[in-house]
C-alpha cells in the first residue's frame, strides 16, 4: 500500500491533497508520497474546490468532501464510504509509470 498519509474514519478515508491552481492541463499525480492536483480553474470563488471535488469523485468513484483547507493550497479531503486498501490501490495506480 502507499505511504501517502491516510486517515480512516467512520465516514471514509481522509487524505491530504496539495492543489496547484491555474495549470495548463488538469492532472492528478503523486509527488514525494503526496497527492498533487493541477487544476485548470483560478482560485476565485471556490472554483478550484469545485473542480477538485468533481475530479476526485470521478477518480475514486465516491462522494468527496473537503474537510479543511477551503482557502489553502493544502487541503484535507474526505473520500466517503471507502476502505484504506481501495484508496491505496488508486494512489498506487497514480504512482505507476504510464506504459
Say what the pTM is. 0.89
Convert the pLDDT of each residue in 8-27 to its tens digit. Answer: 999 999 999 999 999 999 99
Return the CATH class of domain 6-94.
alpha beta
32-36, 59-63, 82-86: least confidently modelled range: 32-36
String of DSSP letters for the chain: ---S-EEE-SSEEEEEEEEE-S-SS-EEEEETTEEEEE-SS-SSTTHHHHHHHHHHHHHHTS-EEEEE-TTSSEEEEEEES--HHHHHHHHHHHHSPP-
Q: How confident is the model at residue 31 (pLDDT cuts 50, 70, 90)?
A: confident
Query: Domain segments of the chain: what residues?
Result: 6-94
Convert the pLDDT of each residue in 35-77 to its tens digit. Answer: 999 999 999 999 999 999 999 999 999 999 999 999 999 999 9
Amino acid at each position: 500500500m502507499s505511504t501517502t498519509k491516510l486517515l480512516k474514519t467512520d465516514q471514509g478515508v481522509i487524505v491530504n491533497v496539495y492543489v496547484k491552481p491555474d495549470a495548463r492541463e488538469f492532472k492528478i499525480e503523486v509527488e514525494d508520497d503526496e497527492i498533487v492536483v493541477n487544476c485548470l480553474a483560478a482560485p476565485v470563488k471556490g472554483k478550484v474546490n469545485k473542480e477538485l471535488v468533481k475530479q476526485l469523485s470521478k477518480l475514486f468513484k465516491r462522494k468527496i468532501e473537503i474537510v479543511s483547507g477551503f482557502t489553502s493550497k493544502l487541503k484535507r479531503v474526505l473520500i466517503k464510504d471507502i476502505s484504506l486498501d481501495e484508496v491505496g490501490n488508486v494512489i498506487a495506480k497514480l504512482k505507476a509509470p504510464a506504459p
